[in-house]
């Protein structure tokens, strides 16, 4: 199962032929299971270029599988620990939201499909984070 990050959704909807967007097209073609988080939903909607695009994104994305933190407090603590662990290893993660998305992926045992260097850097120091 895959967690498809905002970076991939934006490339996909803008017809950008990135490696991640092509991988997502393969996931769609093969009917593999994928989903998003509430934060990915929000970030992708924020990338809309017009009110019409916003409504189209909303209609499509709202029908997808949503993955949520397992615990309303502990999951956020673990996401913060991810951030601190990376920082201690000399890696600064630019987005705390990416840490939460990574934590959700770890909890749900999902592969993260992305085009975002924060996930790549986190995966270098966090053994449980699986990349697609």
The secondary structure of 73-111, three-state, reads CHHHHHHHHHHHHHHHCCCCCCCHHHHHHHHHHHHHCCE
For residue 2, pLDDT beyond 90:
yes
Share of the chain above pLDDT 90, in %: 98
Supply the pLDDT for residue 19.
Answer: 97
2-131 CATH: 3.40.50.1010
State phi, psi for 95 to the nearest 5 degrees.
-130, 120
How distant is the alpha carbon of residue 120 from its chain centre? 12
How many Cα atoms are found within 13 Å in the side-chain-facing hemisphere of 61?
29
DSSP class of 28: H
Domain extent listing, the chain: 2-131
For residue 5, pLDDT beyond 90:
yes
Residues 36-94 have pLDDT tens digits of 999 999 999 999 999 999 999 999 999 999 999 999 999 999 999 999 999 999 999 99
pTM for the full predicted model:
0.94
Supply the pLDDT for residue 127.
Answer: 85
Residue 34 near residue 132, CB atoms below 8 Å: no
Give the mean model confidence (pLDDT) for residues 110-116: 97
Helix (H, G, I), strand (E, B) or coil at 3: strand
């Amino acid at each position: 199962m895959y967690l498809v990050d905002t970076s991939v959704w934006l490339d996909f909807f803008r017809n950008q032929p990135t490696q991640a967007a092509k991988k997502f097209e393969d996931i769609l073609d093969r009917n593999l299971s994928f989903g998003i988080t509430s934060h990915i939903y929000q970030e992708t909607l924020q990338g809309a270029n017009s009110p019409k695009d916003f409504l189209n994104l909303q209609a499509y994305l709202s029908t997808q599988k949503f993955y949520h933190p397992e615990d309303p407090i502990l999951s956020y603590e673990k996401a913060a620990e991810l951030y601190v662990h990376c920082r201690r290893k000399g890696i600064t993660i630019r987005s705390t939201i990416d840490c939460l998305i990574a934590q959700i992926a770890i909890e749900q045992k999902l592969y993260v499909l992305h085009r975002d260097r924060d996930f790549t850097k986190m995966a270098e120091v966090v053994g449980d984070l699986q990349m697609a």
